[in-house]
């Protein structure tokens, strides 16, 4: 009787321990799947997906007859996701060699690629297509290319003193580009891309919002007359060995500006059109 009771007691003791362990495992499984599930899913999505801005095209600047004066063209820029870069120093060295970086620029790039808190850093903007293709063909982990709008003045900077210029990120910096920046600037869009080891996966892009281009600007300036004014003024300054000169042509009936030109002689003694 004692032995039989002792056996039953031991069985109940082991059964109780097993039941406790089983309940503990089930409880932990529930905690992981429910309490931590959303956090783990968010972490996983952060590793696979990245939000990318779709830059809006800047409005075109036309002369009075509809001839283009300043336009926006697509250009390829190289960027990296530091979280996916396997060897920042080695990657920076390879990129530096291909893009013509000096030692300081290469070191700066290596520092950027080492920052694991960043998911997007520029390597170089507006890279020649042949160079960009050569870089991307290496399939460096974390290195990608993106098409961005680049501002270009038509006819070699004609009327540059009027139009002005934009900064490296496309915002107006001087001239009409600055004065009408809010008009010319569009609204950027956004898309999500899935990636593996920092490389975009084909067919996984999803546009969240489309980019909206900026508004075009039409000037009173006549492009042909602007060219003639600049060249005539430059010739006259050289003829008189003057330090510089200014010229403006107006429509006497409307007061509209048809052309404006400025020429200055530099310290080297060479006269040049102010752009």
Tens-place pLDDT, residues 225-265? 999 999 999 999 999 999 999 999 999 999 999 999 999 99
Question: What CA–CA distance (Å, rounded) separates 197 from 84?
Answer: 5
pLDDT at 6: 59
Question: What CA–CA distance (Å, rounded) separates 133 from 125?
Answer: 14
Question: What CA–CA distance (Å, rounded) separates 136 from 271?
Answer: 44
Mean pLDDT of 61-69: 96
Residue 124 has which token pair?
């170089």
**Using 50, 70 and 90 to split pLDDT, how confident is the model at 72?**
very high
Residue 268 has which token pair?
């080297």
Residue 195 has pLDDT above 80, yes or no: no
Query: Are 230 and 222 in contact, with CB atoms under 8 Å apart?
Result: no
Residue 244 has which token pair?
């510089």
Query: Are 105 and 96 in contact, with CB atoms under 8 Å apart?
Result: yes
| Of 20-29, 61-70, 180-189, minimum mean pLDDT range | 20-29
pLDDT at 191: 82
Question: What CA–CA distance (Å, rounded) separates 76 from 133?
Answer: 10
Phi and psi (nearest 5°) for 223? -60, -45
Mean pLDDT of 80-86: 94
Tens-place pLDDT, residues 13-59? 566 666 666 676 666 565 555 555 555 455 454 455 667 778 888 99
Whether the model pTM is above 0.75:
no
pLDDT at 57: 87
The tokens 């869009």 sit on which residue?
189
Residue 135 has pLDDT above 70, yes or no: yes
Residue 61 has which token pair?
């600047």
pLDDT at 30: 57
Residue 1 has pLDDT above 50, yes or no: no
pLDDT at 192: 80
**Using 50, 70 and 90 to split pLDDT, how confident is the model at 196?**
low
Residues in the chain: 275
Question: What CA–CA distance (Å, rounded) separates 72 from 86?
Answer: 35
pLDDT at 56: 87
Closest CA to 220 of 70, 60, 63, 69: 63
pLDDT at 164: 94
Residues in contact with 47: Cβ distance below 8 Å, sequence separation at least 6, in sequence order? 83
């Amino acid at each position: 009787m004692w032995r039989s009771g002792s056996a039953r007691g031991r069985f109940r003791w082991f059964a109780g321990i097993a039941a406790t362990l089983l309940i503990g495992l089930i409880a932990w499984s529930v905690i992981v799947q429910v309490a931590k599930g959303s956090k783990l899913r968010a972490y996983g999505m952060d590793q696979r997906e990245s939000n990318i801005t779709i830059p809006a095209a800047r409005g075109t600047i036309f002369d009075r007859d509809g001839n283009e004066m300043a336009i926006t063209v697509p250009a390829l820029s190289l960027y990296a996701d530091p979280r996916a870069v396997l060897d920042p120093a080695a990657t920076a060295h390879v990129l530096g060699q291909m893009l013509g970086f000096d030692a300081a620029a290469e070191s700066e790039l290596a520092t950027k690629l080492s920052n694991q808190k960043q998911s997007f850093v520029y390597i170089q903007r507006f890279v020649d297509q042949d160079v960009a293709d050569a870089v991307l063909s290496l399939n460096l982990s974390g290195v990608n290319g993106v098409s961005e709008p680049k501002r270009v003045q038509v006819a070699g900077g004609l009327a540059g003193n009027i139009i002005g210029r934009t900064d490296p990120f496309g915002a107006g910096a001087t001239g009409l580009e600055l004065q009408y920046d809010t008009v010319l600037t569009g609204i950027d869009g956004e898309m999500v891309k899935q990636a593996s080891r920092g490389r975009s996966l084909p067919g996984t892009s999803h546009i969240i919002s489309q980019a909206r281009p900026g508004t075009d600007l039409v000037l009173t300036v006549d492009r042909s007359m602007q060219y003639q004014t600049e060249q005539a003024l430059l010739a006259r300054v050289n003829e008189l060995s003057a330090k510089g000169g200014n010229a403006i042509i107006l429509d006497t009936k409307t007061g509209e500006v048809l052309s404006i030109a400025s020429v200055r002689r530099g310290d080297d003694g060479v006269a040049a059109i102010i752009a």
